[in-house]
Structure 1
């Protein structure tokens, strides 16, 4: 009588587990895009010499992410329409809804700004915290994307470092413009 372990090939189980856990390329793209968008927005909304208003700033970050996600998804719809027959399909709606990682990526920034509304810290501190969080998250997304693509740890860390560089450029620009 054969044992169950004899029937299940470990490499097939591992491959299926990896495929199930692997984020689609679109999610990785949208997540990185959302983090960069949130960083740029929070840096731009933090104007020196103006009255701190973290609540409206948080709303602007969220609304801009929603508009950007919808615009990016709709751009996919337009591209599909140009290459197909132009009929509306549920796959086109899914193209727009597939941009949810972009919106999800800005939620930590919105949460950090809302913490300033609650008085947990000043808006300037919230902006610095959001920029730092997003920069570290860019490293994580970049490394995760490289690992997903099958790269080793050293290569994945280099990829994460390059993504993190985008956040550092935004931090540097924010510091120079103030």
Structure 2
């Protein structure tokens, strides 16, 4: 048997050339969390019978993402303290700033709401577009997360589909509540 056979990865493991271009796992986690947060926020802010106000709604989505990212990062700091590892202040700041993908994930939703402020479309259209975009993005990020974990394409797409179900549940809940 040749040495080459020992270096062939199993079929369900993504080749290294693919993994090199995928974001790290914590970024994927924060990004998926941010997409779910943005979807839930934009659905909740678009109340039926209320006057459309996409500017403040965009601000609320952004501020909620910033607060969530800070809280999540700070929870890492607290967990590190509780484990007795005690970190330097610079490391604590890095833990909080590492949550930037959560904030980045809400920016398309904020942009769509700001497009409604500019009059390019109505707030209701912006909400629908954001919910659709976020649902498709959940599938994409879920698939990428599974590929990063080493899953083959079919299992990765199934995982992405499960993530996409979260977005679909928000869309269905939004339609039923209104």
- Higher mean C-alpha displacement, 143-152 vs 92-101: 143-152
Q: Which stretches in structure 1 are left out of the alignment for 5+ residues?
A: 1-10
Q: TM-score, normalised by structure 1?
A: 0.88
**Distance in 1 of aligned mates of 2:156 and 2:20:** 20
The normalised TM-score by structure 2 is: 0.88
> Residues 19, 155 of structure 1: CA spacing in aligned structure 2 closer, same or farther, 3 A cutoff?
closer
Q: Superposed, which structure 2 residues align to 1:112-151 within 5 Å? A: 112-151=112-151
The runs of 5 or more residues in structure 2 that have no matched partner are 1-7, 9-14
* 1:73 and 2:73 aligned: yes
Task: Give, in whole Å, the separation in 1 of the partners of 2:106 and 2:70.
Answer: 14
Higher relative contact order (CA closer than 8 Å, sequence separation 6+): 2
**Cα distance, 1:80–1:61 mapped onto 2, change above 3 Å:** same
SS in structure 1 of the partner of residue 27 of structure 2: helix
Contact preservation (8 Å) 2:76, 2:95: yes
**Count of residues in correspondence between the two structures:** 165
| Alpha-carbon distance in 1 for matches of 2:21, 2:90 | 25
Change (3 A) 1:132 1:28: same
Query: Aligned-pair distance for 1:140?
Result: 0.2
1:32 corresponds to 2:32: yes
> What CA distance in whole angstroms lies between the structure 2 residues aligned with 1:74 and 1:97?
10
CA change 1:147–1:94 in 2 (3 A) is: same
Shift of 1:153: 1.1
Counterpart in 1 of 2:5?
none
What is the Cα-based RMSD across aligned positions, in Å?
1.5
Relative to its length, the structure with more helix (as a share) is 1
Alpha-carbon separation, structure 1, partners of 2:29 and 2:114: 26
